[in-house]
Amino acid sequence: MHELSIAMNIIEIAEEEAKKSGAKKIVSIELAVGKLSGVVYEALDFALQEAIKNTMLEKAEIMINQLEGKAVCLKCLHHFQLENLYEVCPECKHPLCSIIQGKELKINSLLVD
Ligand SMILES: [Zn+2]
């Protein structure tokens, strides 16, 4: 399961950060997951709930922010929302665009104690 390894990766990074600041536990963690990152939001949420057991995040509040896909057309420079990677520009139907937002998978903030 793809999302489980991502969840474990996130936990690893979070614990490392927390240990660096001498914290004993993680109170809350805020993640940003782009719609175009290929990560299934519900699956990641579920995987995290399982994976945090017996870690510093066991009692942490987990917030996952979903980021919309945003792109700019390389031909007409029109900005538009991208639901998937294969969409064409809604203005000029040009198939190539540059993705501005939506492929992220990162830790936005971490609150330790
Ligand atoms: Zn266009």
**Mean pLDDT, each 10-residue run in order, the chain (113 residues):** 91 96 96 94 94 97 96 98 93 96 95 95
Centre of ligand 1 to C-alpha 102, Å, is 19
1: buried, middle or exposed (CB in 10 Å: 19+, 13-18, 0-12)?
A: exposed
Q: What is the pLDDT of residue 106?
A: 94
Centre of ligand 1 to C-alpha 83, Å, is 16
Q: What is the pLDDT of residue 90?
A: 97
Answering whether pTM is above 0.75, one says yes
- What are the structure tokens assigned to 79, written together? 């900005």
Q: How far apart are CA 81 and CA 83, in angstroms?
A: 7
Please give the distance of CA 4 from its chain centroid, rounded to a whole number: 13
Architecture of domain 2-112: 2-Layer Sandwich (3.30)
Centre of ligand 1 to C-alpha 69, Å, is 16
Neighbouring C-beta atoms of residue 107, cutoff 10 Å:
13
CB 39 within 8 A of CB 82: no
